[in-house]
Amino acid sequence: MSGYLFKNVIILNCTGENPFPGDVLIEGNKIIKIARNGGSLKQKNIQIIDGENRMTLMPGLIESHAHLSINNTDDLTALGRIPPEEHTLLTMQNARLYLDHGITSCISAASAKPRLDIVIRNAIENGEIPGPRLLAATPWLTVTGGLGDMRTLHMPKVDSMAIMADGPEEYRRLTRELIREGVDIIKLVISGDSFVPHAGSETTIMSEEEVEAAAKVTHAHGKRLSAHARSAKSVKLCVRHGIKVIYHANYADEEAFDLLEANKDWLFVSPNIGFTAIAAYEGSDWFTEEQVQSMGFREELDSAIKGIQELMKRGVRILGGGDYGFMITPHGQNARDLDHFVRHCGMTNMEAILTMTKNGGEAMDMPNEIGQVKEGFLADLLLVNGDPLSNSKLLLNKNNLHTIMKGGVIHKLSS
C-alpha cells in the first residue's frame, strides 16, 4: 500500500466552515488531495477506509495544558516520591493513552520531574513509543510558598512537581539549566492558587524582576514560555514579557483584557476550567460543601466564565483542555472541556472544537501543518462514529473513534 483513502466521509475541516461530504487522500505523512461532494480520487494501490456517508473525519485533538507525568493524583508529595524509572514508564503509558483518546498533539504545562517530558518527547519523535506530538516543559517554576512548594521548616526536602527559586539571579540560572537539558517551554507559576495557603488565586506571587529574568533568557535561546496566571496582575506580566500561552487568566481585569486583545496576534489563553467546574458542582467525592465554599470554587468558576466570554468578544484565541491528570480530572477525559465551554460559556460546538484543533495548531507553532483537514497538512486525523457538532460529549468516549491517524500512520483502525 502506498497510502490511504478516507472515502464517503463527512469532513469537519476545522477551518470554521460547515462540514461537507467528500474523500481525503493520504500519501506519506500528509493530506494530498480532498475531493468534495462526490468528486473522485485515485484508488490504485491504496487502502480504503470507508466512512459509509455517516462518519466524521476531523483533525486530531490538541491538548494545550498536558501533564503526562501526573498519575491522577490528589497528593503532590506522593507524586514527588515516585522513583525516576517508574515515573518514566508512567509518563510513557499516559502518552499512549492520550493517543488512544484521539489526542495527537500536546503542549506540556509542566513535567513532574525535570527531564520526563524531554525523554518522552524524544522517544515519540524517534518512533520508539506511541504518543502525541509533544512540546516538552519544565516542572512548575515557582517561588517559596508558591503552588507546588510543599516544604516546611521542619521538613525542608519535600518534593512535588515544582522547583522553587527566588530572585532574578536564581531564575536566570535555573532557566539556563533547564534549557540546557532540552526543554521547549519554560513554565512559570506567577500567581497563587486556591490550593495555596496565604496565596490565593487573585494573588501575584512572582515579582516582575523574576519574570523578566526568566523571559530574557528564554527568548534569547529561541524557546517559549507559558505561565500559571490566575490574577489580573500576573496576566499583565505575561503579556509584557512575551509569554505565549497564558493559563487560567480567570481574574483578569479590564486592563488585562485590553492588553490581551492588543496582543492577540501572538498569544493564547488556555482557561482550563475543567477542574474548577467539576470541583464546584460535581466534586462531592473529593470536597465537602464547606471546602467548596471556603476555597471559592464556584466564585472562581463564575469569574472564569465571564473572562472567557470577554475573550470571545475580543477575538483572543482560546485553547481547550487542561489540568487533566488529577483525581477529579483523570487522563483521557480531556475532551470534556468541549462540553464545559458549550454548557458554561455559551460557545457553539464548532467554537469549542476549534479550541482543540485549529487554535491548538497555531499555539503549537504549526498553523499550516496541524489542526485542520487541508491539503498539504500533516495527516493527524480522527474518523468519528457520529457528528461532534451535534454532541459536545461525543469525543469523550474513545470507542467512538473508528480510526486514529498521526502523521499518516494508523494508530487505531476499527474493523
CATH of the domain at 384: 2.30.40.10
In a shared domain, residues 47 and 151: no
86 by Cβ neighbours in 10 Å (0-12 / 13-18 / 19+) ranks as exposed
Per DSSP, 147 falls in state: T
In a shared domain, residues 41 and 80: no
DSSP string, 1-18: --EEEEEEEEE--SSSSP
In a shared domain, residues 46 and 70: no
pLDDT of residue 1: 55
Look at the chain and report how many structural domains it folds into. 2
In a shared domain, residues 50 and 129: no
Range of the domain at 126: 61-334
The 10 Å Cβ neighbour count of residue 185 is: 23
Q: Is residue 216 part of a domain?
A: yes
CATH of the domain at 268: 3.20.20.140
DSSP helix/strand/coil, 248: strand
Rounded CA-CA distance 122/118 in Å is 6
In a shared domain, residues 53 and 66: no
In a shared domain, residues 43 and 174: no
What is the per-residue pLDDT across 160-202, written as a single tens digit (0 to 9) for each?
899 999 999 999 999 999 999 999 999 999 999 988 888 889 9
In terms of DSSP bridges, do strands 3-11 and 47-50 run parallel, antiparallel, or are they unpaired? parallel
Q: Is residue 309 part of a domain?
A: yes
In a shared domain, residues 124 and 35: no
Q: Is residue 297 part of a domain?
A: yes
pLDDT of residue 43: 73
Strand ranges for 230-285 from DSSP E = 245-248, 268-270
pLDDT of residue 156: 86
In a shared domain, residues 164 and 179: yes
Q: Is residue 358 part of a domain?
A: no
Task: Name the strands in the sheet holding 140-142, side by side, starting at the edge strand that comes first in the sequence.
Answer: 162-164, 140-142, 185-189, 224-229, 245-248, 268-270
pLDDT of residue 134: 98
Q: What per-residue string of b and e applies to 192-217 under the rule 16 or more CB within 10 Å gives b? A: bbbebeebbbbbbbbbeebbbbbbbb
Split the chain (415 residues) into runs of 10 and give each run's mean pLDDT: 90 97 96 86 86 97 97 90 96 98 98 97 98 98 93 88 96 98 98 88 96 98 98 98 97 98 98 92 90 91 96 98 91 94 96 98 98 98 97 94 98 94
In a shared domain, residues 21 and 82: no
pLDDT of residue 44: 78
Using only C-alpha atoms, the chain has a radius of gyration, in whole angstroms, of 21
The 10 Å Cβ neighbour count of residue 102 is: 29
The predicted model scores a pTM of: 0.96
What's the helix, strand, coil split of the chain in %, to 5?
35, 25, 45
pLDDT of residue 198: 83
Q: Is residue 119 part of a domain?
A: yes
Which position has the grid cell 497555531?
362
In a shared domain, residues 171 and 246: yes
The 10 Å Cβ neighbour count of residue 264 is: 15
